[in-house]
Amino acid sequence: IGHCRFWLEAIGPELRQYIVTDNNEERPFSRDQRRWVYASAKKENNYFGFGTDEKIELEPNFIIIKHATFAPDTNGQESDGPRRDFHPLNAKKMGDNYPFPCAKVLGSYRGRTKAFRPASGINISGMSFGSLSAAAVEALNRGAALAGCLHNTGEGGISPFHDHGAGLIFQLGTGYYGARDENGRFSMEMLKERVDRYNVRAIEIKLSQGAKPGRGGVLPAAKVTPEISKIRGIPVGKDCLSPASHREFSNADELLDFVERIAQETGLPVGIKSAVGDLSFWEELAELMKDGERGVDYIAIDGGEGGTGAAPLVFSDHVSLPFKIGFSRVYSIMARHDLHEKIVFIGSGKLGFPQSALFAFAMGCDMVAVAREAMLSIGCIQAQNCQTGHCPAGVATQNKWLMRGLDPTHKASRLANYVITLRKEIMWLVRACGVAHPGMITMEN
């Protein structure tokens, strides 16, 4: 009986996932949410019949979108009447990919020489090679190229598996992997070499993530293969520890100096990613940026409910503000200093669904980055074994036997299908509200 208890404990997540829980109970992602992602990725029917099973009259903070009475037709054929030409991008012009570009030009305010307008408002968030398998990273990059969106490298550096067509956001974490010298310090020469070699469109300085802000990261020794060792510049077979804070700066003033130095050397837009806790940093950052002499080109806010990385339970559950609260507080600080139109805002943290993404745009986001939803689209089953190296889907493991079934080319199509479907349904909602672009949605909608 005792042995049976341990066996049942081991398969408890699977039992609850498929037998015990209802469609909306499970966390982090419910069965309904996973079904929608899987069906969208496979281009299957992702409709649900017989009405909602959500308790919309009882759930606090449930998202309700107020549609326009005379909205343009969401299938691309405008209805008769005076609003016939209201939407400038009908289905024929948009094509099958339903692109909607970022409403702002990334890097234009600071005059970066390589400023650009991101072609997609939906992009792939930071997930490192090492935490994810080679096949998974390649699938994400190929899929992002097919969908025309950006792919964030995560803090593990740029690998050959990131080099399959998608534009990259090169993330610099506290370990500076891929851009560090033999002593583990940041190396501008290494950074410039990577920027010249790969299709890097922007650089992101990671201050923290939703999974474990203030804690730093660990790549277990079992995942540190010779290949990862070479890319990151770390010893083989030893735990890879990312510090909780940066060595190149220790306050907002020094951070801005670091940002401007990188931007001057590379010409690229430079942004920061952070979960939100103490607001004094954001107040100081805004105060330092308001004179226009220095500044970040974008701010990516990760909610406390986000994070692909495994973390101590107390950090996952209790450290950093949820996205809705954290983002609204940072945005209001920037708005008070008249900076909100000069910065590109990116949201992440369970925003990979049409209604959640639209809510983020209404709050002030210019783009949304998705991570775990992207993992689901290429085969993740929410086994929650990411930290063990035994991911049964071959997504979060370096075990070649486990990843053998993850065909990057095949899964790339799944990722692209998911991103395109997400953009399509966001545009459906946007048109239902009677506007032309997600950037025009407000909290009144």
Tens digits of per-residue pLDDT, 224-243?
888 888 888 778 877 777 77
Tens digits of per-residue pLDDT, 352-401?
999 999 999 999 999 999 999 999 999 998 888 887 788 888 998 888 89
With bands split at pLDDT 50, 70 and 90, how would you rate the model's confidence at 18?
low
Strand partners of residue 101: none
- For helices 408-432 and 31-41, give the axis angle rounded to 10 degrees: 110
pLDDT of the residue at 80: 40
CA angle 282–358–437, rounded 5-degree value: 100
pLDDT at 78 over 70: no
pLDDT of the residue at 86: 33
Q: What is the mean pLDDT of residues 27-34?
A: 86
Query: Is it true that the peptide bond before 60 is cis, omega within 30 degrees of 0?
Result: no
pLDDT at 89 over 60: no
Amino acid letter at 444? E
With bands split at pLDDT 50, 70 and 90, how would you rate the model's confidence at 42?
very high
In whole angstroms, how large is the CA radius of gyration of the chain?
A: 22
% of the chain at pLDDT higher than 90: 58
List of residues 6+ apart from 135 with CB closer than 8 A: 161, 394, 403, 406, 407, 408, 411
Cβ neighbours around 265 below 10 Å, total: 13
pLDDT at 71 over 70: yes
Q: What is the mean pLDDT of residues 263-289?
A: 96
Identify whether the C-beta of residue 122 lies closer than 8 Å to the C-beta of residue 366: no
Cα–Cα distance measured from residue 73 to residue 54, given in angstroms and rounded to the nearest whole number: 26
